[in-house]
Amino acid sequence: MLLAVGIFVFNQKQVANPARCADQYTNADLNEQLVMSVLWMEKSAEYRALCYQTFNLAKLRIDEELQKKHTKPLAVVVDVDETVLSNSKYEAWLIGKDKQYSKDTWSQWISDAEATALPGAAKFLNYANSRGVSIFYITNRHESTRVGTLKNIQKVGFPNANNEHLLLKTTTGNKTPRREIVKKDYEIAIYMGDSLTDFTNEFAGKTIEEQKAIADNYLQDWGDKFIVLPNSEYGNWDGAIIKNKWGASASEKDAMRKAALERWQPKN
């Protein structure tokens, strides 16, 4: 009876002061939502197979393009994070900690150059390069991380791992101007990325429904000009779900994510 009363009193306090409970929802709590995503990307054979499938498709597309006449040399433009390099160890590091992504910890991670190549990435990039196709890395890692980024892509054996072929973020996350730099001297055969803005900036700042509509407009380009890598950890989709309110509290982000779920409603 005393135990039951104690539980009742505790629950009564929770109901009486819901704001206090919300304040107690920390980044450590929110980071628990990463567990399944990180495990899937680190451990599942399905994710590995999807990466191989994606790079096999990219190889087929390069072979097709090499059969055509072009007025400029060919290039492949790839994003870096979760497109050719995996940062799952950084995401896993956040789990269990009352921390969120920060410029300082992200910069330290990049400096350590411990990101690993996605399955099939090095083989594909080196194949394309061996056929005379140049590789350009267009990433929204900041210019200040150039040394660590170069060290990492060299470490995993990627081709064209030099300053000329690495275009980092300076004043804007919009990749369009950097893509245009490449297009001055090259014909871009394919773009590869894990987030929709890796292909066109039309997706930037859009809602989930708007992103879906734009994706539909590019129906013929997916698997042809645009090739997407799977990423369940973060991306344009996650930003849209929280309405790009990156400064929201952990409890607010949790609420927005859960409110976006489409739930089964039992009839009985």
Q: Is the pLDDT of residue 12 over 80?
A: no
Domain count, the chain: 1
Reported confidence tier of residue 22, pLDDT bands at 50, 70, 90: low
Reported confidence tier of residue 73, pLDDT bands at 50, 70, 90: very high
Tell me which residue range forms the domain holding 100. 29-259
pLDDT at site 257: 97
Which CATH number goes with the domain that contains 68? 3.40.50.1000
From the DSSP assignment, how many helices (H) and strands (E) are in the chain?
13, 7
Structural domain includes residue 21: no
In the predicted model, what is the mean pLDDT of residues 26-51? Answer: 98
pTM: 0.90
Integer Cα distance of 217 and 232 in angstroms = 23
Structural domain includes residue 153: yes
Integer Cα distance of 65 and 105 in angstroms = 41
Q: What element of type H or E holds 228?
A: strand 226-228
- The tokens describing 249, both together, are 């509290």
Structural domain includes residue 268: no
Structural domain includes residue 136: yes
Question: 192 by DSSP, 3-state: which?
Answer: strand
73 φ/ψ angles, rounded to the nearest 5 degrees: -65, 150
Structural domain includes residue 134: yes
Structural domain includes residue 49: yes
- DSSP E strands in 8-158: the ranges are 74-78, 85-86, 116-117, 134-142
> Burial of 113 by CB count in 10 Å (0-12 exposed, 13-18 middle, 19+ buried)?
middle
Q: Please, are residues 139 and 149 in contact by the beta-carbon 8 Å criterion?
A: yes
